[in-house]
Structures are given as C-alpha cells and as structure tokens.
Chains A and B, each alone.
Chain A
Amino acid sequence: MYILPSIKSSTIDIIFRPSRFVQSRINTYSDSLKDKTKILIKLSLIFALNLILYSVPLTLSGIATVEAVPNPPAIFTSNFGPVFESPVEVWDFLYQLSVNAGFLIAASVTALVSYHAGVVFLRESEGILQSLHTIIYTSSIYLAGAFTLTWIASTADQIRFADDIIIHYQKQFIYFFIDLTDSGLDLPGGRPSPVPTSNITIEGQIIIFGLILMGLYFMYSLYLGARINHDMDRSDAILMLVFVTLSPAIYIIGSIIYSVNII
C-alpha cells in the first residue's frame, strides 16, 4: 500500500523546528503521475490559502502598496453594478488584493526558479516537487512575513526612518554592481547618502529586527530544504544557498547590461 505523504505542519515548527516545517515527509515522492498530480494540487492549495491569509489582511488594513488604482473597466461596472452597492470600492479592493498577492507570487516564483536551478546545477535534484514543497512552505511564512513588515515600514509614519534604512541598503546593493560593471548608470533619486543609524524609533527597530529574522529563517529553511528534501550534503546545500543569494546579483547585472547595451 502506498501512502501519500502528509504535508501537515504545526505552527510551533515555524519557529522551533524549521527542519520539520520544510521537510516533505518522504524521501522521494511517488513516481506515479497521479500521485504527483495529487501532491501538486495539495501544495498549490496550501500556497493559495497562505496567499489569501497574507494578502487579504494586508489589503483590508489599508496599507497602500498601490499608488493609484485605475478606474474599473466598463464590463466590471456593468456586471457588478447591480450586485454591489459600491462596485468601485469592490474594484479597488480586488485590484489592490491582486497587486499585493502578485508581489508574493513573483517573489516565490523567482525563488523557486533560482532554488531549483541551483539544485539541478549541482546535480542533486530529487524532483521539482521537492523544491516546490520547500519554496511554498518557506515563502508562505517567512517571505510573506518579510513583505508585510516591509509594507508596514514603508507606510507607517512613525517608522518611516526604518524604511529609509531598508531603501538605503537596497540602493547600496544595486550601486555595488553598477560600480563593479562601471556602467555609469544612475538610479532615480541618485546615489544613496548615508543614513544615520541612531534615533530609530522602537517600532522601527522592531520592524528591522523582524525583517532580519525573517530573512535568516528564509535562508536557513532553504538550506534545510536542500539538505532534507534533496538529500544534499552540507557543502552542496551551502553552494545552493550561495546560488540563490547570487540570483538577485545576476538579475541586477543582467538589467545593467540590458540598460547599457539594448536600451
């Protein structure tokens, strides 16, 4: 008798046992296409549920991740006008919800591609489902948590300073590669000026604390996913992590080359 692996996990594992949280509960998923499809559906449902849990409260809380919502298309108002009292508000909500969810989807897909590419590159792949399992679990919690904190930092006035620090380090990271490639490009707003690291409000400190923690948990869970789900040894798992960490660098360098040579 073949038993489909359980993909349940407890909340306590998220903090105390990320190894149990990311592990796919079975060394190798079944070879049967039917079972693989079942697992794929299960994982997709988990991701969809987590996406809702992440994006709905974020949208309802009114954190403005969208600067301006376009007017609803005529087909929307004509169809939903009789159903809802205020179809424009519903449109605004759905638009912001899809944008909020879109950020997490894009980040998760990017993480999955770079993670699985790293695993395949190291010739240690136990299958895409193992990578999918790792990414869905890690991004649903740690990445979603980091995104939520970043949105809060960028919108709440009392922690605006924390946002300045986050943007400062993002810009410094990009300028590192601009200088490395000697491309002479400039980001909007120019080179970042030093941000004083004192006088951060308590709320801001909590946000940065949470962000660093989420980032560390995310990377550690990817490492554990490689070790447990792809049965990698320590050095290969670290190499895979380097590969994932370098992927934003590859993306930035690619964008610089594109901007200089093609645009």
Chain B
Amino acid sequence: MDEFEPSIKVIIIKIGLTVGIAIATLSLFALNPGLVGGGDLANILFAVAAFIFALAILRLLIKAVILSKTTYIVTPSKLRLEYSLLYKTRTREIPLKQLRGMELKQDRVQAALGFGTLVFLTGGMNQSLGFIEFENIERADNVRDRIRSQRN
C-alpha cells in the first residue's frame, strides 16, 4: 500500500505569482489613473481588480488548506482519497479493476517543479463518483506507471 500527500508547493508558488501580478497591476492603475478613465471611474476599476485578485488569492489559500489535509492511498485493489478538516471528512475510492482511463495533467508551474495531477476515470463523468483526482503529486508519471502495472 502506497500512501502519499499532495504538495502545496505548487499552490504557494501560484499564490506568490498572483500576489506579484496583483501588485504590478494595481500599482499601474494607482500611478496612472488616466489609463483607466481617471476620476472615480479609475477608483472603481482599481477596486474591481483588487477584488478579483483578492478572490483568486483566497481561493488558492483555501485550496492549500484542503490539500494539506488530503491523503491519497493506492492499495493493490483500490485508489482512495481521504480528506478531513474541522470534523468534516470525505473519502472517495475506486476499485482498480473498474478503472477505465487515466489522465496526467501538468500546468506550467507543475511541470517546472516536477509535479502533476492524475485523473482516474471509471465512467467518464466529470463529477460523478467514477471520478477521482490526485492533485499536485510528485513524479506523477511514475505513480501512473505503477498503477498501470498493478492493474495489468
């Protein structure tokens, strides 16, 4: 049985990047209000941009907390996801023999850091119980190959 935890390194880097872009964009708006209409209109656009960045950062922070409380388990017969936070728990598992397909996804940050997301499908439905995702795992291609050989 293999048990591993998703890395939050990728999320932290993404938070850093978002904060950097937010500072650059908001500074540009603040220093050149004429660029965005001037007067109160510039203030409103500044507030809109600040709100969107704040929302994006908050969303990443929530994701980091959730991932830090998540564990992925691969047994000889099942794939399992466990998550527990403030008395709220969630587990989801799929039997290996019902596995129909696997998808390895890597965005730019994940690829640069050597992480990836593995998506396992049993019935092809996006959010149905036949769907499980191992997010931000190290050497995702190795994990995929191991599961593939286990299934065969």
Contact = CB atoms under 8 A, between A and B. Distances in A.
> Which secondary structure characterizes the binding site on chain A?
loop
Contacts of B44: 200, 205, 208-209, 212
A26 B125 contact: yes
Given A16-B59, A209-B48, A212-B48, A25 B40 contact: no
B5 to A, nearest CB: 23
B128 A3 contact: yes
Nearest to A26: B125
Interface in B42-60: 42-45, 47-48, 51-52, 55, 58-59
B16 interface: no
Contacts of A208: 41, 44
Interface string B123-137: 011111000000000
B39 A25 contact: no
B129 to A, nearest CB: 9
Contacts of A5: 125, 128
A189 B62 CA distance: 51
A228 B126 CA distance: 9
Contacts of B76: none
A15 B125 contact: no
Contacts of B39: 196-198, 200
B95 interface: no
A145 to B, nearest CB: 14
A15 B127 CA distance: 19
A253 interface: no
Interface string A1-27: 001011000000001110010011111
Given A16-B55, A198-B40, A27 B48 contact: no
A174 interface: no
A135 B34 CA distance: 35
Interface string A178-207: 000000000000000000111110000100
A25 B47 contact: no
Interface of A: 3, 5-6, 15-17, 20, 23-27, 165, 196-200, 205, 208-209, 212-213, 216, 228
15 contacts: A3-B125, A15-B55, A17-B59, A20-B127, A23-B127, A25-B128, A27-B125, A196-B39, A197-B38, A197-B42, A198-B40, A200-B39, A208-B41, A209-B44, A209-B47
Given A27-B126, A165-B41, A213-B48, 19 more contacts: A6-B127, A15-B55, A17-B59, A25-B128, A27-B125, A196-B39, A197-B37, A197-B38, A198-B38, A199-B40, A200-B40, A205-B44, A208-B41, A209-B44, A212-B44, A212-B48, A213-B51, A213-B52, A228-B126
